[in-house]
């Protein structure tokens, strides 16, 4: 065999040996990741399901599982116990947990820039303003933040302090009690307006929003994404990846108003969800995420403003009668966000 032939044969062997490495790159293994909601899945969580179905979490190397919540307080406890990497919880619950039990959980992104609290009445009700609630009966569930913050509502609205009667019941019974006239009003998050009005219309009654507390000036930080302090210290890159994908989902679903598409993703995972209620929740929730200061470019999506958070902490410390005033650095970080002003 000539020298040239030997060289050619050697090159041919090397090519065959190298062929396996010339094939398609093996997909990067994805890390399991759990997001714990603060409530049952509905339209307000459209951004997260959009990021899931669009593959944006997978693009970041995360195999995300979304699980339902049982309220903000429970979500904070579950995150503290290591049952998930990220949770959704109201700042009131986080502040209370840090103040009273010193849970090592911190907010990593602000979701609702203002509280979604509201008060609903029947459309045919003579109650036209918050002051008209004086002497009326309101349905409430145990531990409901509307009742806890009612003194703030009284101050903002001009309603006489202590002038309403609370009728305690489980949360599911609140809209029916108003529909049948057993109570005069119900406090409910405004993101659920479409859902509870649909329930009412099925019984030939309609409801209307008497007052959104944010419109009265309730200017507090609200729902947030939270994580354990040790996760923040140990795995900041994983949290940054999660936030990039989540905020990409928010931009697509909320900022660019792909509400129907996003609701479809929620229904794919939870066919029991009412599509009309989910669509209404998504549309209203988008306004709390993309509030005026965000759309005007003053702050980035998810970014905390220390002054507003300080006010939030002081209000909840007072009205929840918390054990201590938690330092702001124990409550939040903006360092994991993809953008900030």
211: pLDDT strictly greater than 90: yes
Question: E strands of 123-219, at which residues?
Answer: 137-140, 165-168, 186-189, 207-212
Residues 336 and 243 sit within 8 Å (Cβ to Cβ): yes
**Residue 171 is encoded by which pair of tokens?**
């949360």
* Average confidence (pLDDT) over 18-24: 45
pLDDT, position 326: 97
Percent of the chain with pLDDT over 90: 79
CA–CA dist 128, 60 (Å, integer): 50
Residues 116-161 have pLDDT tens digits of 999 999 999 999 999 999 999 999 987 778 888 899 899 999 999 9
Residues 159-206 have pLDDT tens digits of 999 999 999 998 889 999 999 999 999 999 999 999 999 999 999 999
pLDDT, position 7: 36
pLDDT, the chain, mean: 90
Give CA separation, 201 vs 175, 180, 190, 208, in Å.
12, 12, 17, 11
Percentage helix, strand, coil for the chain under 3-state DSSP, each rounded to 5: 50, 15, 35
pLDDT, position 1: 53
Percent of the chain with pLDDT over 70: 92
Residue 13 pLDDT class (50, 70, 90 cuts): very low
Higher pLDDT, 234 or 145: 234
* Average confidence (pLDDT) over 82-98: 95
pLDDT, position 226: 98
* Average confidence (pLDDT) over 34-47: 93
pLDDT, position 40: 84
109: pLDDT strictly greater than 70: yes
pLDDT, position 28: 62
37: pLDDT strictly greater than 70: yes
Residues 116 and 281 sit within 8 Å (Cβ to Cβ): no
CA–CA dist 214, 131 (Å, integer): 17
Residue 9 pLDDT class (50, 70, 90 cuts): very low
Residue 2 pLDDT class (50, 70, 90 cuts): low
pLDDT, position 73: 87
Residues 287-329 have pLDDT tens digits of 999 999 999 999 999 999 999 999 999 999 998 889 999 999 9
Q: How many CB atoms lie within 10 A of CB 86?
A: 24
CA–CA dist 320, 313 (Å, integer): 10
* Average confidence (pLDDT) over 212-227: 94
3: pLDDT strictly greater than 60: no
pTM of structure: 0.84
Contacts 24+ apart (CB under 8 A), 160-167: 160/131, 160/134, 163/133, 163/134, 163/135, 164/133, 164/134, 164/135, 164/136, 164/137, 164/138, 165/135, 165/136, 165/137, 165/138, 166/137, 166/138, 166/140, 167/137, 167/138, 167/139, 167/140
- The helix (H) or strand (E) run that includes residue 119 is strand 117-122
pLDDT, position 148: 81
* Average confidence (pLDDT) over 63-85: 93
């Amino acid at each position: 065999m000539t020298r040239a032939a030997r060289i050619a044969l050697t090159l041919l062997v090397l090519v065959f040996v190298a062929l396996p490495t010339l094939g398609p790159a093996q997909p990067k293994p994805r890390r399991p990741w759990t997001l714990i909601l603060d409530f049952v899945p509905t339209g307000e969580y459209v951004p997260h399901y959009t990021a899931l179905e669009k593959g944006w979490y997978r693009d970041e190397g995360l195999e995300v599982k979304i699980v339902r919540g049982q309220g903000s307080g429970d979500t904070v406890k579950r995150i503290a116990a290591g049952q998930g990497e990220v949770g959704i919880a109201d700042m009131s619950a986080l502040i209370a947990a840090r103040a009273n039990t010193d849970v090592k959980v911190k907010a990593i992104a602000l979701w609702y820039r203002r509280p979604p609290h509201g008060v609903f009445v029947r459309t045919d009700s003579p109650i036209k303003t918050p002051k008209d609630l004086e002497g009326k009966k309101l349905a409430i569930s145990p531990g409901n933040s509307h009742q806890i913050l009612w003194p703030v509502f009284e101050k903002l609205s001009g309603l006489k302090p202590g002038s309403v009667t609370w009728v305690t019941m489980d949360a599911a019974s609140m809209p029916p009690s108003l529909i049948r006239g057993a109570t005069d009003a119900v406090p409910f998050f405004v993101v659920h307006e479409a859902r509870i009005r649909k329930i009412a219309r099925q019984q030939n009654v309609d409801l209307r929003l008497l007052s959104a507390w944010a419109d009265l000036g309730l200017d507090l930080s609200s729902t947030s994404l939270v994580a354990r302090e040790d996760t923040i210290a140990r795995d900041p890159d994983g949290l940054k990846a999660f936030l990039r994908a989540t905020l990409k989902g928010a931009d697509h679903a909320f900022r660019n108003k792909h509400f129907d598409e996003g609701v479809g993703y929620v229904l794919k995972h939870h066919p029991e969800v009412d599509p009309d209620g989910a669509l209404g929740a998504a549309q209203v929730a988008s306004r709390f995420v993309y509030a005026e200061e965000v759309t005007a470019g003053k702050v980035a999506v998810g970014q905390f403003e220390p002054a507003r958070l300080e006010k939030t902490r002081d209000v909840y410390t007072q009205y929840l009668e918390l054990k201590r005033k938690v330092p702001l650095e124990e409550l939040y970080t903006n360092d994991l966000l993809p953008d900030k002003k």
